Amino acid sequence: MARIILTLVFSTLFYLTTAIPSPELVDRASITTLSSDTVDSYKPYAFYSSTAYCSPESIMNWDCGENCNANPHFRPNKTGGDGIRAPFWYMGYDSILNTIIISHHGAAPGEMQKSLHLESNGSNRLSSLNIAGSNFTTLFKPLFDGAPDDIRVHANISTTQLFTASDIFLEWEYAAADERPTITFVDHSSGAALSLLDAVYFALQFPYITDLSPPWTKVKFVGYGLPRVGNQAFADFVDEHITVVDDGKGFVRINNMKDPVPINPSRALGYVHPSGEIHIQASGEWDTCPGQDNPDSQCIRGAVQNDANGNKPDNYCPYDGVMMGC
Ligand SMILES: *[C@@H]1O[C@H](CO)[C@@H](O)[C@H](O)[C@H]1NC(C)=O
Ligand SMILES: *[C@@H]1O[C@H](CO)[C@@H](O)[C@H](O)[C@H]1NC(C)=O
Ligand SMILES: *[C@@H]1O[C@H](CO)[C@@H](O)[C@H](O)[C@H]1NC(C)=O
Ligand SMILES: *[C@@H]1O[C@H](CO)[C@@H](O)[C@H](O)[C@H]1NC(C)=O
Protein backbone atom coordinates (compact mmCIF):
# COMPACT_ATOMS: atom_id res chain seq x y z
CA MET A 1 0.00 0.00 0.00
CA ALA A 2 2.74 2.43 0.97
CA ARG A 3 4.38 1.87 -2.40
CA ILE A 4 1.20 2.64 -4.27
CA ILE A 5 0.77 5.91 -2.40
CA LEU A 6 4.38 6.77 -3.05
CA THR A 7 3.96 6.08 -6.75
CA LEU A 8 0.98 8.39 -6.86
CA VAL A 9 2.95 11.11 -5.13
CA PHE A 10 5.76 10.69 -7.65
CA SER A 11 3.43 10.85 -10.62
CA THR A 12 1.96 14.09 -9.37
CA LEU A 13 5.38 15.50 -8.70
CA PHE A 14 6.60 14.64 -12.18
CA TYR A 15 3.52 16.16 -13.72
CA LEU A 16 4.09 19.42 -11.89
CA THR A 17 7.77 19.68 -12.62
CA THR A 18 8.31 18.33 -16.12
CA ALA A 19 8.55 21.83 -17.58
CA ILE A 20 11.54 22.77 -15.44
CA PRO A 21 14.87 22.19 -17.23
CA SER A 22 17.74 20.50 -15.43
CA PRO A 23 19.99 23.05 -13.71
CA GLU A 24 23.40 23.92 -15.13
CA LEU A 25 26.48 22.88 -13.21
CA VAL A 26 28.28 25.72 -11.54
CA ASP A 27 31.77 26.02 -13.01
CA ARG A 28 34.08 26.31 -10.04
CA ALA A 29 37.27 27.73 -11.36
CA SER A 30 40.14 26.68 -9.16
CA ILE A 31 41.43 24.36 -6.46
CA THR A 32 40.59 25.61 -2.98
CA THR A 33 41.41 24.36 0.50
CA LEU A 34 38.49 23.39 2.73
CA SER A 35 38.10 24.94 6.17
CA SER A 36 38.60 22.66 9.15
CA ASP A 37 34.86 22.95 9.92
CA THR A 38 34.01 21.59 6.48
CA VAL A 39 36.56 18.80 6.84
CA ASP A 40 35.05 17.89 10.23
CA SER A 41 31.55 17.83 8.72
CA TYR A 42 32.55 14.75 6.70
CA LYS A 43 33.74 12.77 9.69
CA PRO A 44 30.40 11.06 10.46
CA TYR A 45 30.31 9.81 6.86
CA ALA A 46 33.82 8.34 7.17
CA PHE A 47 32.69 6.37 10.22
CA TYR A 48 29.55 5.17 8.38
CA SER A 49 31.72 3.95 5.48
CA SER A 50 33.99 2.17 7.91
CA THR A 51 30.98 0.62 9.69
CA ALA A 52 30.08 -1.25 6.50
CA TYR A 53 33.04 -3.57 7.24
CA CYS A 54 31.44 -4.70 10.53
CA SER A 55 29.20 -7.76 10.86
CA PRO A 56 25.48 -7.29 10.11
CA GLU A 57 24.67 -8.44 13.68
CA SER A 58 26.89 -5.84 15.33
CA ILE A 59 25.47 -3.18 13.03
CA MET A 60 21.84 -4.04 13.88
CA ASN A 61 22.75 -3.95 17.60
CA TRP A 62 24.85 -0.82 16.98
CA ASP A 63 27.64 -2.29 19.11
CA CYS A 64 30.37 -2.51 16.47
CA GLY A 65 32.92 -0.58 18.53
CA GLU A 66 34.63 2.67 17.57
CA ASN A 67 32.74 3.07 14.27
CA CYS A 68 29.32 2.76 15.92
CA ASN A 69 30.33 4.82 18.97
CA ALA A 70 31.29 7.71 16.69
CA ASN A 71 27.64 8.07 15.61
CA PRO A 72 25.81 7.01 18.79
CA HIS A 73 22.45 8.48 17.72
CA PHE A 74 22.23 6.34 14.55
CA ARG A 75 19.16 4.12 14.27
CA PRO A 76 20.03 1.01 12.20
CA ASN A 77 16.99 -0.32 10.41
CA LYS A 78 17.97 -3.09 8.02
CA THR A 79 20.89 -5.15 6.75
CA GLY A 80 21.01 -7.35 3.67
CA GLY A 81 23.25 -9.27 1.29
CA ASP A 82 24.65 -12.73 1.88
CA GLY A 83 28.36 -11.89 2.11
CA ILE A 84 29.04 -14.47 -0.60
CA ARG A 85 27.82 -13.28 -3.93
CA ALA A 86 25.97 -10.19 -2.70
CA PRO A 87 28.10 -7.99 -0.40
CA PHE A 88 26.44 -7.06 2.91
CA TRP A 89 24.76 -3.67 3.15
CA TYR A 90 23.04 -1.72 5.89
CA MET A 91 20.70 1.24 6.19
CA GLY A 92 19.32 3.40 8.95
CA TYR A 93 18.53 6.93 10.03
CA ASP A 94 20.83 9.70 11.27
CA SER A 95 18.70 12.29 13.04
CA ILE A 96 21.47 14.93 13.19
CA LEU A 97 22.29 14.82 9.48
CA ASN A 98 18.58 14.14 8.92
CA THR A 99 19.30 11.57 6.24
CA ILE A 100 18.94 7.87 5.57
CA ILE A 101 22.40 6.31 5.36
CA ILE A 102 22.93 3.36 3.01
CA SER A 103 26.30 1.61 2.76
CA HIS A 104 27.79 -1.58 1.26
CA HIS A 105 30.57 -3.76 2.50
CA GLY A 106 33.28 -3.23 -0.10
CA ALA A 107 35.48 -6.30 -0.10
CA ALA A 108 35.46 -9.26 -2.42
CA PRO A 109 32.68 -11.73 -1.55
CA GLY A 110 33.65 -14.06 1.28
CA GLU A 111 36.53 -11.86 2.42
CA MET A 112 34.69 -9.91 5.06
CA GLN A 113 36.87 -10.47 8.12
CA LYS A 114 40.13 -10.70 6.24
CA SER A 115 39.61 -7.84 3.83
CA LEU A 116 41.71 -5.30 5.61
CA HIS A 117 44.82 -7.46 5.79
CA LEU A 118 44.40 -8.93 2.35
CA GLU A 119 44.05 -5.64 0.66
CA SER A 120 46.35 -3.41 2.61
CA ASN A 121 49.33 -5.55 1.65
CA GLY A 122 48.04 -7.58 -1.28
CA SER A 123 46.62 -6.75 -4.67
CA ASN A 124 43.18 -8.31 -4.28
CA ARG A 125 41.14 -5.17 -4.81
CA LEU A 126 42.94 -3.66 -7.78
CA SER A 127 43.02 -6.91 -9.71
CA SER A 128 39.30 -7.50 -9.31
CA LEU A 129 38.65 -4.00 -10.59
CA ASN A 130 41.06 -3.98 -13.42
CA ILE A 131 41.51 -7.35 -15.00
CA ALA A 132 38.55 -9.71 -15.18
CA GLY A 133 35.89 -7.11 -14.65
CA SER A 134 36.88 -3.94 -16.44
CA ASN A 135 34.75 -4.56 -19.53
CA PHE A 136 31.89 -2.17 -20.02
CA THR A 137 28.26 -3.19 -20.02
CA THR A 138 25.02 -1.28 -20.51
CA LEU A 139 22.81 -0.47 -17.53
CA PHE A 140 20.16 -3.12 -16.82
CA LYS A 141 17.10 -1.54 -18.43
CA PRO A 142 14.36 -2.77 -16.09
CA LEU A 143 16.04 -1.01 -13.15
CA PHE A 144 17.65 1.91 -14.94
CA ASP A 145 14.77 2.88 -17.17
CA GLY A 146 15.15 6.47 -18.34
CA ALA A 147 18.96 6.55 -18.27
CA PRO A 148 20.69 7.68 -21.50
CA ASP A 149 21.42 4.77 -23.86
CA ASP A 150 25.09 5.68 -24.27
CA ILE A 151 25.94 5.03 -20.61
CA ARG A 152 28.42 2.19 -20.08
CA VAL A 153 29.45 0.87 -16.67
CA HIS A 154 31.92 -1.61 -15.23
CA ALA A 155 30.46 -5.07 -15.93
CA ASN A 156 31.63 -6.77 -12.74
CA ILE A 157 30.44 -3.93 -10.48
CA SER A 158 27.13 -3.82 -12.31
CA THR A 159 26.48 -7.55 -11.92
CA THR A 160 27.28 -7.37 -8.22
CA GLN A 161 25.10 -4.30 -7.64
CA LEU A 162 22.09 -5.98 -9.24
CA PHE A 163 22.09 -8.72 -6.57
CA THR A 164 20.94 -6.22 -3.92
CA ALA A 165 19.61 -3.11 -5.72
CA SER A 166 15.90 -3.87 -5.60
CA ASP A 167 16.02 -5.12 -1.99
CA ILE A 168 17.57 -1.82 -0.98
CA PHE A 169 15.02 0.17 -2.92
CA LEU A 170 12.11 -1.74 -1.39
CA GLU A 171 13.42 -1.06 2.13
CA TRP A 172 14.50 2.59 2.11
CA GLU A 173 11.10 4.12 2.62
CA TYR A 174 10.61 2.17 5.86
CA ALA A 175 13.97 3.19 7.31
CA ALA A 176 12.69 6.58 8.43
CA ALA A 177 9.03 6.46 7.59
CA ASP A 178 8.11 9.36 9.86
CA GLU A 179 10.88 11.77 8.94
CA ARG A 180 11.07 11.29 5.16
CA PRO A 181 14.60 12.73 4.94
CA THR A 182 17.18 12.77 2.14
CA ILE A 183 18.99 9.55 1.18
CA THR A 184 22.79 9.47 1.35
CA PHE A 185 24.90 6.64 -0.03
CA VAL A 186 28.13 6.54 1.95
CA ASP A 187 30.88 4.10 1.12
CA HIS A 188 34.51 3.10 0.67
CA SER A 189 36.45 1.77 -2.32
CA SER A 190 34.70 -1.04 -4.24
CA GLY A 191 31.71 -0.66 -1.90
CA ALA A 192 31.54 2.95 -3.07
CA ALA A 193 31.38 1.75 -6.67
CA LEU A 194 28.31 -0.37 -5.79
CA SER A 195 26.78 2.54 -3.90
CA LEU A 196 27.27 4.89 -6.82
CA LEU A 197 25.26 2.58 -9.08
CA ASP A 198 22.60 2.41 -6.35
CA ALA A 199 22.58 6.21 -6.15
CA VAL A 200 22.04 6.46 -9.90
CA TYR A 201 19.26 3.86 -9.71
CA PHE A 202 17.55 5.85 -6.93
CA ALA A 203 18.08 9.18 -8.71
CA LEU A 204 16.28 7.78 -11.76
CA GLN A 205 13.21 7.21 -9.59
CA PHE A 206 13.15 10.95 -8.74
CA PRO A 207 14.35 12.56 -11.96
CA TYR A 208 13.04 16.13 -11.67
CA ILE A 209 14.76 17.65 -8.67
CA THR A 210 14.17 21.32 -7.95
CA ASP A 211 14.53 23.48 -4.84
CA LEU A 212 10.89 22.72 -4.10
CA SER A 213 11.23 18.93 -4.29
CA PRO A 214 10.64 17.08 -1.02
CA PRO A 215 13.86 16.01 0.74
CA TRP A 216 13.23 12.29 0.24
CA THR A 217 13.63 12.68 -3.52
CA LYS A 218 17.15 14.07 -3.09
CA VAL A 219 19.83 11.40 -3.45
CA LYS A 220 23.34 12.20 -2.27
CA PHE A 221 26.66 10.35 -2.31
CA VAL A 222 29.84 10.51 -0.24
CA GLY A 223 32.52 8.06 -1.38
CA TYR A 224 36.02 7.38 -0.04
CA GLY A 225 38.67 5.98 -2.40
CA LEU A 226 36.05 5.49 -5.13
CA PRO A 227 37.28 3.72 -8.31
CA ARG A 228 35.95 4.85 -11.68
CA VAL A 229 32.60 3.20 -12.44
CA GLY A 230 31.52 4.25 -15.94
CA ASN A 231 32.16 6.16 -19.13
CA GLN A 232 31.80 9.86 -20.00
CA ALA A 233 28.01 9.62 -20.38
CA PHE A 234 27.81 8.01 -16.93
CA ALA A 235 29.95 10.75 -15.34
CA ASP A 236 27.78 13.42 -17.00
CA PHE A 237 24.60 11.75 -15.75
CA VAL A 238 25.91 11.68 -12.17
CA ASP A 239 26.83 15.36 -12.41
CA GLU A 240 23.42 16.32 -13.77
CA HIS A 241 21.33 14.31 -11.31
CA ILE A 242 23.35 13.82 -8.10
CA THR A 243 26.15 16.42 -8.00
CA VAL A 244 23.56 19.22 -8.45
CA VAL A 245 21.77 18.40 -5.18
CA ASP A 246 22.67 20.74 -2.28
CA ASP A 247 24.10 23.48 -4.49
CA GLY A 248 26.55 21.20 -6.26
CA LYS A 249 27.61 19.20 -3.20
CA GLY A 250 25.35 16.19 -3.75
CA PHE A 251 28.18 13.99 -5.02
CA VAL A 252 31.52 14.00 -3.20
CA ARG A 253 34.44 11.61 -3.70
CA ILE A 254 37.21 11.94 -1.14
CA ASN A 255 40.62 10.65 -2.22
CA ASN A 256 43.56 10.16 0.07
CA MET A 257 47.12 11.10 -0.92
CA LYS A 258 48.52 8.48 -3.35
CA ASP A 259 45.71 5.91 -3.29
CA PRO A 260 45.83 4.09 -6.66
CA VAL A 261 42.22 2.80 -6.50
CA PRO A 262 40.62 6.05 -7.76
CA ILE A 263 42.77 6.03 -10.93
CA ASN A 264 41.31 2.59 -11.83
CA PRO A 265 39.99 1.42 -14.22
CA SER A 266 42.03 3.73 -16.43
CA ARG A 267 40.84 6.62 -18.57
CA ALA A 268 42.57 4.83 -21.45
CA LEU A 269 39.84 2.16 -21.13
CA GLY A 270 37.21 4.90 -21.39
CA TYR A 271 36.44 5.38 -17.68
CA VAL A 272 35.69 8.90 -16.36
CA HIS A 273 35.02 10.19 -12.82
CA PRO A 274 32.14 12.60 -12.14
CA SER A 275 33.00 16.00 -10.58
CA GLY A 276 33.05 16.52 -6.82
CA GLU A 277 36.58 15.43 -5.92
CA ILE A 278 38.15 16.33 -2.60
CA HIS A 279 41.82 15.37 -2.42
CA ILE A 280 43.66 14.91 0.89
CA GLN A 281 47.27 16.05 0.63
CA ALA A 282 50.19 14.58 2.57
CA SER A 283 50.07 17.78 4.64
CA GLY A 284 46.57 16.77 5.81
CA GLU A 285 44.98 19.63 3.88
CA TRP A 286 41.71 18.86 2.05
CA ASP A 287 41.48 20.48 -1.40
CA THR A 288 38.48 20.62 -3.73
CA CYS A 289 39.34 19.63 -7.30
CA PRO A 290 36.75 21.07 -9.68
CA GLY A 291 35.66 19.21 -12.79
CA GLN A 292 35.73 15.57 -13.83
CA ASP A 293 39.12 13.90 -13.34
CA ASN A 294 41.03 17.13 -12.67
CA PRO A 295 44.63 16.50 -13.91
CA ASP A 296 46.26 18.95 -11.47
CA SER A 297 49.01 17.45 -9.28
CA GLN A 298 46.98 18.48 -6.21
CA CYS A 299 44.22 16.07 -7.38
CA ILE A 300 44.30 12.27 -7.53
CA ARG A 301 44.72 11.93 -11.30
CA GLY A 302 47.75 14.19 -11.29
CA ALA A 303 49.14 12.90 -8.00
CA VAL A 304 49.07 9.21 -9.01
CA GLN A 305 50.17 8.91 -12.63
CA ASN A 306 50.01 5.10 -12.65
CA ASP A 307 49.57 2.18 -10.22
CA ALA A 308 53.31 1.85 -9.54
CA ASN A 309 53.26 5.46 -8.43
CA GLY A 310 50.49 4.80 -5.89
CA ASN A 311 50.50 3.60 -2.31
CA LYS A 312 47.71 1.08 -1.57
CA PRO A 313 47.46 1.64 2.21
CA ASP A 314 46.40 5.23 1.41
CA ASN A 315 43.10 3.70 0.28
CA TYR A 316 42.31 2.89 3.93
CA CYS A 317 43.52 5.85 5.90
CA PRO A 318 43.66 8.35 7.25
CA TYR A 319 40.48 10.22 6.35
CA ASP A 320 40.60 13.00 8.95
CA GLY A 321 41.94 10.37 11.36
CA VAL A 322 39.46 7.65 10.40
CA MET A 323 40.79 4.30 9.20
CA MET A 324 38.41 2.20 7.06
CA GLY A 325 37.70 -1.24 8.51
CA CYS A 326 36.11 -2.87 11.52
C1 LIG B 1 12.59 0.25 10.65
O2 LIG B 1 11.75 1.36 10.44
C3 LIG B 1 10.36 1.08 10.50
C4 LIG B 1 9.61 2.32 10.10
O5 LIG B 1 10.02 3.43 10.86
C6 LIG B 1 10.02 0.59 11.89
O7 LIG B 1 8.64 0.24 11.94
C8 LIG B 1 10.87 -0.62 12.21
O9 LIG B 1 10.61 -1.01 13.55
C10 LIG B 1 12.33 -0.29 12.06
N11 LIG B 1 13.14 -1.47 12.30
C12 LIG B 1 14.08 -1.48 13.21
C13 LIG B 1 14.87 -2.74 13.32
O14 LIG B 1 14.32 -0.52 13.92
C1 LIG C 1 49.44 -9.57 4.70
O2 LIG C 1 49.05 -9.29 6.02
C3 LIG C 1 48.65 -10.44 6.75
C4 LIG C 1 48.12 -9.95 8.09
O5 LIG C 1 48.91 -8.96 8.64
C6 LIG C 1 49.81 -11.41 6.88
O7 LIG C 1 49.41 -12.56 7.59
C8 LIG C 1 50.26 -11.80 5.49
O9 LIG C 1 51.38 -12.65 5.56
C10 LIG C 1 50.61 -10.57 4.65
N11 LIG C 1 50.84 -10.98 3.28
C12 LIG C 1 51.86 -10.51 2.57
C13 LIG C 1 51.93 -11.00 1.15
O14 LIG C 1 52.68 -9.71 3.02
C1 LIG D 1 34.17 -9.94 -10.43
O2 LIG D 1 35.56 -10.18 -10.62
C3 LIG D 1 36.12 -11.07 -9.67
C4 LIG D 1 37.62 -11.10 -9.86
O5 LIG D 1 37.98 -11.38 -11.16
C6 LIG D 1 35.48 -12.44 -9.84
O7 LIG D 1 36.00 -13.33 -8.89
C8 LIG D 1 33.99 -12.28 -9.58
O9 LIG D 1 33.34 -13.49 -9.81
C10 LIG D 1 33.38 -11.22 -10.50
N11 LIG D 1 32.02 -11.00 -10.06
C12 LIG D 1 31.03 -10.91 -10.90
C13 LIG D 1 29.70 -10.68 -10.30
O14 LIG D 1 31.18 -10.94 -12.10
C1 LIG E 1 36.16 -8.64 -21.94
O2 LIG E 1 36.55 -8.17 -23.23
C3 LIG E 1 37.55 -8.97 -23.83
C4 LIG E 1 38.02 -8.27 -25.09
O5 LIG E 1 36.91 -7.86 -25.84
C6 LIG E 1 36.98 -10.37 -24.06
O7 LIG E 1 37.96 -11.19 -24.66
C8 LIG E 1 36.55 -10.95 -22.74
O9 LIG E 1 35.92 -12.20 -22.92
C10 LIG E 1 35.60 -10.02 -22.00
N11 LIG E 1 35.35 -10.53 -20.66
C12 LIG E 1 34.15 -10.70 -20.16
C13 LIG E 1 34.08 -11.20 -18.75
O14 LIG E 1 33.13 -10.41 -20.77
Over residues 219-274, the pLDDT tens digits come to 999 999 999 999 999 999 999 999 988 888 999 999 999 999 999 999 999 999 99
**Nearest of 42, 35, 31 to residue 289 by alpha carbon:** 31
User: Which protein residue has the closest C-alpha to ligand 1 atom 4?
Assistant: 174
Provide the β-strand partners of residue 230. 153, 272
Q: What is the pLDDT of residues 86-98, one digit of tens each?
A: 889 999 999 999 9
Q: DSSP string of 87-149?
A: --EEEEEETTTTEEEEEE--SPTT-TTTHHHHHHHS-HHHHHHHTTT--EEE--TTTSTTS-T
Q: Who lines ligand 3 at CB under 6 A?
A: 128, 132-133, 156, 159-160
Ligand nearest to the CA of 113: 2
CATH classification (class only), 2-315: alpha beta
Q: What DSSP state is assigned to residue 251?
A: E
**Nearest of 56, 189, 63 to residue 128 by alpha carbon:** 189
Specify the 3-state DSSP secondary structure of 305: coil
- Expressed in angstroms and rounded, the spacing between residue 268 Cα and the centre of ligand 4 is 16
Burial 78-87 (b: 16+ CB within 10 A, else e): bbbbebeebb
Are the beta carbons of 260 and 307 closer than 8 angstroms? yes
pLDDT of residue 11: 33
User: Which protein residue has the closest C-alpha to ligand 3 atom 1?
Assistant: 156
Band of residue 17 on the pLDDT scale cut at 50, 70, 90: very low
Give the residue extent of every domain in the chain. 2-315
- Expressed in angstroms and rounded, the spacing between residue 10 Cα and the centre of ligand 4 is 40
Given a cut of 60, whether residue 25 has pLDDT beyond it is no
Mean pLDDT to the nearest integer, 48-69: 96
The residues, ordered by sequence, that sit 6+ positions from 251 with a Cβ below 8 Å of its Cβ are 199, 220, 221, 238, 239, 242, 243, 245, 274, 275, 276
The residues, ordered by sequence, that sit 6+ positions from 35 with a Cβ below 8 Å of its Cβ are none
**Nearest of 160, 47, 167, 48 to residue 102 by alpha carbon:** 48
Ligand nearest to the CA of 125: 3
- Expressed in angstroms and rounded, the spacing between residue 107 Cα and the centre of ligand 3 is 11
Report the chain's mean pLDDT, rounded to a whole number: 84
